[in-house]
Amino acid sequence: MPEVTVELFVDIVLFSFLVSIALTIARIRNLFVAVMLSGIFSLLSAGLFTVMDAVDVAFTEAAVGAGISTVLMLLTLDLTTEQETDPIQPQIFPLIVALCTGGAMLYATQDMPAFGDPSAPVHQHPLADHFINTALQVEMHVPNMVTSVLGSYRGYDTLGETTVVFTAAVAVMLLMRGRRRFSQPSTIDAEPEEGVS
Amino acid sequence: MSTHGSIVRIGAKMLIPYIMLLALYVQFHGDYGPGGGFQAGVIFAAAFILYALTHGLKATKQVISPSIAEKLICLGVLLYAGVGIASMAMGGNFLEYGVFDHHDPSHGQHTGLLLIELGVGITVFAVMLTIFYNFAGRGRS
């Protein structure tokens, strides 16, 4: 079956790019390069989600991960330095924690059903049938079932998510503006604001 | 920021209308295709951020001022919650869109989804822009 072979090939290429980019980000000391690579990482993840037919997730990943967060990280670099300082001594403990967590996650994936397996528990549950058939033909008439589930069946949930986004903006405003007011007496920050240069 | 060449600025100007159009398409076509309020809000904000990157922060703040963006954040959440209150006032449960249309509940569902997605879109757009303004407003200079 050539179609499956092509998809497997695309998967292998995307995953090997992801792994090599992740390793490069971990090794590199230039933060500007790391930010750009993390943007590319997000874009490749979006490609991977598209291959897996999760178009809504891919859309979000491409717009937020590769777009907005890259810009925000670049702006953060403008506030700090471009070069990461070298650690004073090699950090062994974080490496052990990371390896243990990664190993535990790999071990846990052994219990997960194969991708697209029709006998997986999530496809056997009666709610899946309800969301796909009853929702589409009787209750909602909304072809994109992601929208109908997120907006209507789980409307509370999405209201909560919107409030989380709202809270995040309030927190950013408090953090970014509060500091300037408190440190007004110091001579460094008292200069008039000039915006992005 | 204004030292960029004209090619970048004109290229951005040509792209921005289409980015906005795509955002509106994603916003109002979320029932039928991939996308919805969240993605649309992010894309719409990306158009403004592209404008800010090429034309400067000051010009962007003239198009949409930070205080308006902050009010839009609240407006989106209020619109979403208001749809829930409205459905309660019309005799349904909180966020039960079926009551918006007495003849065919699925039409009411479409109305409710359109409104709450609009609320999500407005909030996400304004939040992204506000965060951008707050980060960009404090350069090293």
Prediction ipTM score: 0.86
Torsion of CA B96, B100, B103, B109, to 10 degrees: -60
- Position A136 in a domain: no
Instruction: State the amino acid at position B33 in one-letter form.
Output: G
- Position B46 in a domain: yes
C-beta atoms of B106 and A177 within 8 A: no
- Position A153 in a domain: no
Q: What are phi and psi of A114, to 5 degrees?
A: -65, 155
User: What's the structural domain count of chain A?
Assistant: 1
Structure tokens that stand for A188 in this block: 């460094």
Banded model confidence at residue A187, pLDDT cuts 50, 70, 90: very low
- Position A11 in a domain: yes
User: What's the structural domain count of chain B?
Assistant: 1
Task: Give the pLDDT confidence of B73-86 residue by residue, as tens digits.
Answer: 999 999 999 999 99
Q: Give me the residues paired with residue A83 across strands.
A: A30
pTM of the model: 0.82
- Position A191 in a domain: no
C-beta atoms of A155 and B139 within 8 A: no
- Position A9 in a domain: yes
Classified as helix, coil or strand, A30 is strand
Parent domain of B32 = 6-136
N-terminal to C-terminal alpha carbon distance within chain A: 56
Distance from CA of A170 to the nearest CA of B (A): 9
C-beta atoms of B112 and A151 within 8 A: yes
- Position B1 in a domain: no
Distance from CA of B104 to the nearest CA of A (A): 9
Contact B87, B97 (CB under 8 A): yes
Q: Give me the residues paired with residue A30 across strands.
A: A83
Parent domain of A14 = 1-84
Taking alpha carbons only, the member of A75, A186, A178, A82 closest to residue B138 is A75
Task: Give the pLDDT confidence of A90-122 residue by residue, as tens digits.
Answer: 778 888 999 999 999 999 988 888 877 888 888
